[in-house]
Amino acid sequence: MHRRAFNLALLKASAAAYFAPRLAARTFADVLPSSLYTNAIVIDSLCGPFTDMDTPPSAEALAAVRQSGITAINYTVSASGFEDTINILANLQDLADHFPDAFLIVRRYSDIIRAKRENKIGIMPGFQETAFLEKDPERIATFRRLGVRIMQLTYNNRSIFGDGCLEPGNAGLSKAGIAAVKRMNELGVALDLSHSGYRTTSDGIAQSVKPVLITHSGCAAVYPHPRSKPDEILKALADRGGYFGVYLMPYVVASPTVPTREHVLDHLVHAINVCGTDHVGVGSDGAIQKTVLTPEQKAAFDKDIARRKQLGIGAPGEDRYPYVPDLNGPDHMQVIAEELAKRGQPASVIEKVLGANFQRVIGEIWGTD
């Protein structure tokens, strides 16, 4: 959708949704203080606000997302091309401009705190695509000035910076990748190694003088998938002060099993045991809005799965729809908090997993202004 069309359509959205208050979170079932989720900084470290970001939100979708209790999200704004990426950034700004009571673009650490204080959802622009950075690595600095402060250097396959998690060569960071990590450190841009291969991930952790992120992944020891990370990487990440976000994707369990919250919790608890309580969170790799499997949505998923397979970026297990059905919707972070409590995790740990760990690492990378 062109920016002008997006603007006009947004203006038609319901004023009632615009002014809808954020509702109090539902009461926990005798496992946690009712105020914990309401008071916590809640951050999904890879997430979109809506299931369809090309269409202006309905009044109902906007109201539901506002009621999620989520403080901030890392939202992917990159496309394969430079101009397309600029357009996505522009549309994101349009969203925040038209719904200033609901959204805030997070460009510095203090904006996370501001989002919580003002009952808004803070959106941290981030990159997963690398092609436009490969053509001109100095674009890292350009986009940093535009507020993009979380970036991947590889996505599944090989880039000039290093090998992705589907690349059989597993060659690690290249000279260009090492230089890019150094530049990101200098600029205060967080390095995200989620889709990197094992050696690239290890190299990135070792080369970075600042903590690094794995915003959305799983634990290979729980289920060995190319997008998951082995324990030695989790330990190295934690030893350097980094952050590991567990995703809510089918790859937490072997196909054709439909994933459940129990599978996700297995990964979360394992990550806590390996990394320690200060380094783990949730990066759903989905949306705040509930996914509804209408015929149109199924067709869209099927088309995207086929596209990814054709491009060679589809991972094993992409024969299931990309979400966990019983962690699907605006309350997914609260449900995870409840499930962690049922597994014996104390309130102090749950608060860290909900968002305090990600907030801490972002402050160490970006600075706390």
Show the domains of the chain with their CATH numbers: 3-366 (3.20.20.140)
**Do 250 and 260 form a contact (C-beta atoms < 8 A)?**
no
Assign 219 to helix, strand or coil.
Answer: strand
- Per-residue pLDDT at 261 exceeds 50: yes
**H helical segments located in the chain:** 3-11, 15-18, 35-39, 59-66, 82-98, 109-117, 131-135, 139-145, 175-187, 198-207, 231-239, 261-275, 295-311, 332-342, 347-351, 357-366
Mean pLDDT in residue range 22-31: 44
91 alpha carbon, distance to own chain's centre:
19
**Do 205 and 232 form a contact (C-beta atoms < 8 A)?**
no
Q: Which of 282, 325, 346, 306 is nearest to 42 (CA)?
A: 282
- Per-residue pLDDT at 120 exceeds 70: yes
CA distance 237 to 218: 14
- 311 vs 39, 193, 314, CA distance in Å? 43, 21, 7
pLDDT digits (tens, 9 = 90+) for 35-48: 999 999 999 999 99
Q: How confident is the model at residue 136 (pLDDT cuts 50, 70, 90)?
A: very high
pLDDT digits (tens, 9 = 90+) for 172-182: 999 999 999 99
Query: Prior bond to 33 cis, omega within 30?
Result: no
CA distance 176 to 97: 37
310 against 242, higher pLDDT = 242
CA distance 219 to 335: 20
| CA angle (216, 164, 166) in 5-degree steps | 95
Q: What is the DSSP letter of 134?
A: H
CA distance 354 to 67: 16
Query: Lowest-pLDDT range, 31-45, 111-125, 249-263?
Result: 31-45
Which pLDDT score, from 0 to 100, does residue 341 have?
96
Q: How confident is the model at residue 30 (pLDDT cuts 50, 70, 90)?
A: low
Measured distance between the N- and C-terminal CA atoms of the chain, rounded to whole angstroms: 35
- Per-residue pLDDT at 101 exceeds 50: yes
**Do 190 and 46 form a contact (C-beta atoms < 8 A)?**
no
Which pLDDT score, from 0 to 100, does residue 31 have?
64
Mean pLDDT in residue range 139-159: 96
pLDDT digits (tens, 9 = 90+) for 48-84: 999 999 889 999 999 999 999 999 999 999 998 999 9
CA distance 84 to 259: 33
Mean pLDDT in residue range 353-358: 98
